[in-house]
Amino acid sequence: MRKICLLILSIMCFVAQLMATNDVVITVLDKTKGASTLTFSQFPKFWINENMKAFELKPIGEKQVLNDSVYKITFHIFKPEFILFEECGYRMIITPGDRAKAVVYYTGKDKLKINVCFSGIMKENYNAYHDLNIVLNKNNIWKSIGSTSLQKSIQIVDSDYMYKCRIIKTHIKTGLLRDFMMNEVKAKAFNYFAYINDVNKNMLMHDELMKIKSKYFPSKITCENTIDMYNPEYTNGIGSLSNLLCGDIKSKNKLEAQTDTLQKYFSKELADYLIAGNFHSFSIKSYSEKKYISEDGVKNWYNLYSMKIHDSDDKAMIQYSYSLYKKINYPFPENVLDEKLIKLSDNSVITFRDLIKENEGSQLIIDTWASWCGPCISEINRGKSRTEEMIKRGNHFIYISIDKQEDIDKAKEKATAVNILDKAYVVIGNAYKTYLNIVSIPRSIMLDKNGNIKNLKLPFLSYLPANYNFDKYGE
Residue 420 has pLDDT above 60, yes or no: yes
d(CA 99, CA 146): 45
Among the ranges given (44-53, 73-82, 195-204, 292-301), the one the predictor scored with the smallest mean pLDDT: 44-53
Residue 387 has pLDDT above 80, yes or no: yes
- Give the model's pLDDT for residue 111: 63
Determine contact, residues 172/132, Cβ cutoff 8 Å. yes
Same structural domain for residues 206 and 321?
no
Same structural domain for residues 193 and 240?
yes
Local confidence band at 300 (pLDDT 50, 70, 90 cut-offs): very high
Q: Which of these three, 246, 269, 289, is where a domain ends? A: 246
Same structural domain for residues 110 and 43?
yes
Q: Which of these three, 309, 329, 349, is where a domain ends? A: 329
Local confidence band at 412 (pLDDT 50, 70, 90 cut-offs): very high
The amino acid at residue 32 is T
- The answer to the question of residue 131 being in a domain is no
Rg for the chain, CA atoms, rounded: 26
Residue 51 has pLDDT above 60, yes or no: no
Same structural domain for residues 206 and 253?
no
Give the pLDDT confidence of 218-246 residue by residue, as tens digits: 999 999 888 999 999 999 999 999 999 99
- The answer to the question of residue 98 being in a domain is yes
- The answer to the question of residue 193 being in a domain is yes
**Model's pTM, two decimal places?**
0.84
Residue 12 has pLDDT above 50, yes or no: no
- The C-alpha angle 389, 475, 363, rounded to 5 degrees, equals 55
The amino acid at residue 457 is K
- Give the model's pLDDT for residue 129: 85
Same structural domain for residues 268 and 178?
no
Determine contact, residues 49/440, Cβ cutoff 8 Å. yes
- The C-alpha angle 277, 279, 281, rounded to 5 degrees, equals 75
Same structural domain for residues 30 and 122?
yes
Backbone phi and psi for residue 240, each to the nearest 5 degrees, phi listed first = -65, -40
Give the pLDDT confidence of 140-192 residue by residue, as tens digits: 899 999 889 999 999 999 999 999 999 999 988 878 889 999 999 999 999 99
The amino acid at residue 42 is Q
Same structural domain for residues 310 and 222?
no
Instruction: State the CB neighbour count (10 A cutoff) for residue 165.
Output: 14
- Residue 346 belongs to a domain with what CATH number? 3.40.30.10
Same structural domain for residues 261 and 216?
no
Residues in the chain: 475
Average pLDDT over residues 408-416: 93
Residue 50 has pLDDT above 90, yes or no: no
Residue 291 has pLDDT above 60, yes or no: yes
- The answer to the question of residue 133 being in a domain is no
Same structural domain for residues 256 and 242?
no
Q: Which of these three, 329, 351, 382, is where a domain ends? A: 329
d(CA 286, CA 309): 22
- Give the model's pLDDT for residue 121: 64
Same structural domain for residues 190 and 207?
yes
Per DSSP, the residues of 216-230 read: H-SS-B--SSGGGGG
Query: Which are the contacts of 304, defined by CB distance < 8 A and separation ≥ 6?
Result: none
- The answer to the question of residue 378 being in a domain is yes
- Give the model's pLDDT for residue 4: 54
Percent of the chain whose predicted confidence (pLDDT) is above 70: 92
- Give the model's pLDDT for residue 15: 39
Local confidence band at 292 (pLDDT 50, 70, 90 cut-offs): confident
Q: Which domain holds residue 36?
A: 2-126
Same structural domain for residues 118 and 175?
no
- The answer to the question of residue 134 being in a domain is no
Average pLDDT, the chain: 87
Per DSSP, the residues of 171-212 read: HS-SSHHHHHHHHHHHHHHHHHHHHHHHHTTS---HHHHHHH
Same structural domain for residues 192 and 258?
no
- Give the model's pLDDT for residue 49: 62
Instruction: Report the number of distinct structural domains present in the chain.
Output: 4
| Cβ-defined contacts of 352-361 (< 8 Å, 24+) | 352/432, 355/398, 355/425, 356/331, 356/332, 356/447, 356/451, 357/451, 359/396, 359/398, 359/447, 360/449, 360/450, 360/451, 361/449
- Give the model's pLDDT for residue 196: 93
Residue 146 is classified by DSSP as T
Give the pLDDT confidence of 69-122 residue by residue, as tens digits: 899 999 999 999 998 887 667 788 888 998 988 888 887 666 667 778 887 766
- What is the bridge-based pairing of β-strands 395-401 and 424-428? parallel
- The answer to the question of residue 132 being in a domain is no
